[in-house]
Each structure stands twice: as structure tokens, then as C-alpha cells.
Amino acid sequence: MADALLRLDGVHTHIGQYHILQGVDFEVPRGGLTMLLGRNGAGKTTCLRTIMGLWRASKGNVRLAGHDVTHLATPELARSGVAYVPENMGIFAGLTVRENMLLAARGGPPEAKRLAWIFGLFPALEKFWNALAGNLSGGQKQMLAIARAIIEPRRLLLVDEPTKGLAPAIIANMIEAFRELKRTDTTILVVEQNFSFASALGDTVAVMDSGRIVHTGGMDALVADAALQAKLLGLSLEAQP
Amino acid sequence: MTRAWLPLALVPALALGALPLVASLPTWVTLTVAGLAMGMMIFMMASGLTLVFGLMDVMNFAHGVFISVGAYAAASVLIALQAEAQAPSLAANLAAIGPAMLAAIALAGVLGWFFERVVIRPVYGDHLRQILVTMGGLIVVEQLIIVLWGPDLIPLPRPGALSGSFIFGEAAIERYRVLAIAVGLALFGAMWLVLNRTRIGLLVRAGVENAEMVESLGYRIRRLFVGVFVAGSGLAGLGGVMWAMYQESLSAQMGMQVMVLIFIVVIIGGLGSVGGCFLGALLVGLTANYTGYLAPKVALGSNILLMVLVLLWRPRGLYPVGK
């Protein structure tokens, strides 16, 4: 297994009076795509938000390429090459598609080559380049959210439930886009409940339950073991293969 | 956004609707210009508050002190430059008003910076405490104004060349109101350009919608907060100068007195929307002037009625900003 780009050691997160993450330990291998699975309320979104610094870990460490980033502010983490696509996509509805992309390109106007590559992944964005992002369909908004995250090369891409509420045809398009993304150097961590999507893309998998990691390993092994799937994921998955 | 043009039609619709009621064209012209001028001044005072509301989710009830402080700073400069301010030459008047406006913007901006650091910063995210501490800050600054400038109403005569009226046929249009409209339009144009043609403007617009996502893209939103708060305070100071010269007097409570109108404008426009704030301010100015002429007894409540009607039609304001 490749070395870990991201490592969480005993991470605890409290939100108000609630103790959500209760000692999360797992690592994301460099250059691969790791799926973080689990039922609703298991703590997957909290885990991503804690990594991103949007919620603070009350205990434990988050390490990025060996550096402790537990207490790094979100903008600093983003500047170190981490991109985040939240569950609600975080699209700026009152800005155009172009303005959304320009804002994400901190280093100046996006490179034409990079933009052409993104338009290849998500052709709808080129078509609606000057349209208000708020007027896009749900699938197009998700495409914009992911395109915005990869407008510049990133070390780590965190994506929260990219298939939530999307039509099957759009999910198929999304799978192709992630396959293309996997050919780059970017390490990807995806929170997902759609097991067919997860199994089609994941190299490694971590499964959460009640604020803890209850399983880590290769995705192939989990796909091949129906009993293990039933034990770990039970009825929590929206779509079995 | 569907039918985004509809709110734009409200201002001409209101003006044209008032014409048959007023019955006299010269009077209607005078009232309309007075309403537009009043709206522009309210816009100057309210534009900063709407951005502070939208971007920082801060309920700043002390916004009125920036208006008062700006007015007092400008009055001090105008008193020092009395010869230029009262000269019959427009150039001499502008030579006094220019530094007075700059002093108002600077002092209100510095006070805004201090206020953000000392009063607002410890209570981000807590609306109840924001209301309490900003009301407390308002009282403290009002009392400081009284200590420094005294408790009495200070007369502030309009500069010589800006007194009196232009006469068009039978319609009289006060010169000062023309200046107010010109300054308001210039300010709106400048804000539109900054918000729509610069990267800082793009960040502000994005931050008003989703500050957390702006941070996730790598931008330090707190710095933007401070910048917007200082700019908003400075604009309130500018509005204070214009309002004080319009009323030809100033008092420590003048900012607080106009806050009701400002809150109405910010709510009508949609929290965080500069375009909505501009439109809302014009509607409030016109409504106040038309009803003041047609039915003086209901004039005080007319803007509340306007707000109720707008919110019944568009509950999040004329141009709601997506959150």
C-alpha cells in the first residue's frame, strides 16, 4: 500500500453538547481514492469538516503529508492544496458559473488547458459558462462544485456525497469524471452512501459507525465479501449493486 | 431568479401612480426629486449595513453612531472652513465639502475598525449578545459625542451655492437635492463596479452567500469582514454628512433617529443585497414624500406599510441573497 497523504489519529469532535467523532483513526493513501462509508449519522460529514478545519477536533491529530494540520485554519489548509466539496455543494447561486470558477482559481485566471480538460469532464459547464449558478440543475451544480474544486491542481480532494439526489444518468457521468480524476496525482477522499458508486471507484475503504472507524481495507475485499458488507453496512446503503 | 426585473418597475410605478393623486405636475416633480434625494441619502447610510448583515450575519444596532460621528466630523471641518462653505461660489463650497466628507468617512471608518475589533468580534455568531453590546456601544458613543461637542442641536447651514432652488417652469427643485442625487448615483455606480468588476467584489458577493465556502476556497474571510465593516462605517459617515446638511442641523441622536428607515430599507431590499438596498431606499424616500404631502397623518406609518406590502409579495425582500 502507498504511503498515507492524510492520517487521522484518535480524533474526537464535539458539536455543542454532542460528542460526534469518538476517536477516529484511519489513513488515506497517497494518489488513491478512498471511500468513507457508513449509515446516516455515523459521523462521515463531521469527519470531513474536521479534516477541513471547519469544526475543530477537541482531541487527536490530523496529519497531512506528515505535518500536523489539526489546528490549521480552513483558508490555510485550502492554500496547502486541500479542496472541499460539501454535501450541499456550496455553489454561489448569485454568481455565474464563470465567476464561481474564477473565485476558486486563487492563482489567477484558470489555464486554458486545465479549463479545456474540465470542460471535457463536464461539457454542461462550458454551455452554461455565463449562466447564474443558481439556475443550474442539481446535477450541473454538483459538476460545478467538483470542477471548482479541481480548477487548480490539488493534493487532496474531499467530496461529501457527490451522488446525493442525482439521477442515474448523471451518476454514470460522475463515475467517468472521477475515473479521469484518478488518473491525476490528486488523492481523493469521498463520503458516500451509494455502494454501487463507491465500489466502482474506491481503491480503499473506511467504514464508520457511531463516530468511530469500524473497518478499513481494500474496496475489492469488501465488494467480494457479501457477509462483511451486510455486517458493516447492513441496511444503511441506499443502493446495493 | 424569475422576473428579476419586476422590482425595478416599482419605482417608476410608484412615481407615476402618485401623479394623478398629487394632481399638480410642478408639485409632483418637486416631491419626486425630494423623494429621490432622500432615498439616495438613506442608501448611503444603509448600504454598509446591508453588507455587514449579509456578509457577517451581524445585527449592528450601533450603525447609527457612524452616521452621527460622520456628521460631527464634517461639521467641525465646515465650521473651520466657514468662509469657503458660505461663499457664493460652487467651487469654494466644494473645496469645503470635499474635506468635510473625507473627514466624515475617515473618522467613521476608524471608529468602525475599533468597533469591529472591540465590540463585534467577541460576539460573532450570537445575535442576542450582538444586539445587547451594539446597543450599549451606541449609548457610549452618543454620550461621548455629547461630551465632545455638547448636548445642543448644532445648526449646519447649507453651503452658499447649494442653498436655494432651480426653477423649471413652475417646479422648484432644491439645489442641495440635486447634489444628493448626484452623490448617491455616483456611490451606487462605484459600488456596482467594485462588486461586479473586481475580485474583492466577487469575494464580497460570494461571502454574503456562503462565508464558510469562501474560507474553504482559501480566502481569509475575517480580513474581508473587517474591510467591509470599515467601508460600511465610512459610507454611513458620508451619509451622515449629507443627512445633516439636508436637515441643516445635527445632534448626537440623529443616527439613531434615522435607523428605523435604514432597517426598513435593508429588509425591503433583501439582507446583503446592495441593488435591493438602493431600490428599497428610493421606494422609502418617494413614499415618505408623497404621503407627507397627500396624507400627513399617515406619513409616519407609510414606510412600515410599504415594508409589509413588499414582504407579503417577496418575504425575503426584493432581491434576496441566496444563503
- What average pLDDT score do residues A114-127 get? 95
Q: Poorest-confidence range of A60-69, B65-74, B161-170, B213-222?
A: B161-170
- What average pLDDT score do residues B298-319 get? 93
Whole-angstrom distance, CA of residue B84 vs CA of residue B159: 8
Whole-angstrom distance, CA of residue B267 vs CA of residue A48: 35
Say what angle helices B175-197 and B199-209 make with each other, to 10 degrees.
Answer: 90
Tens digits of per-residue pLDDT, A181-220? 999 989 999 999 889 999 999 999 999 999 999 999 999 9
**DSSP letter string, B2-45:** TTTTGGGGHHHHHHHHHHHHH--HHHHHHHHHHHHHHHHHHHHH
Chain A residue whose CA is closest to B272: A94
Of A78, A79, A94, the CB nearest to B205: A94
Do B208 and B54 contact (CB within 8 A), yes or no?
yes
Which positions in chain A touch B2 (Cβ < 8 Å)?
none
- What average pLDDT score do residues B206-213 get? 92
A205: enclosing H helix or E strand: strand A204-209
Work out the pLDDT band at A241, boundaries 50, 70, 90: very low
Q: Å from A46 to nearest chain B CA?
A: 15
Chain B: residues touching A (Cβ < 8 Å): 1, 199, 202-203, 205-206, 209-210, 212-221, 321-322
Do B43 and B277 contact (CB within 8 A), yes or no?
yes
Work out the pLDDT band at A235, boundaries 50, 70, 90: very low
| Inter-chain residue contact A94 with B321, CB threshold 8 Å | yes
Q: Determine if residue A89 is left, alpha or beta; phi over 0 gives left, psi from -120 to 50 gives alpha, anything else beta.
A: left
Q: Determine if residue A60 is left, alpha or beta; phi over 0 gives left, psi from -120 to 50 gives alpha, anything else beta.
A: left
pLDDT at B55: 79
Q: Poorest-confidence range of B30-44, B62-76, B119-133, B274-288?
A: B119-133
| Inter-chain residue contact A86 with B213, CB threshold 8 Å | yes
- What average pLDDT score do residues B309-319 get? 94
Q: What ipTM does the predicted assembly reach?
A: 0.91
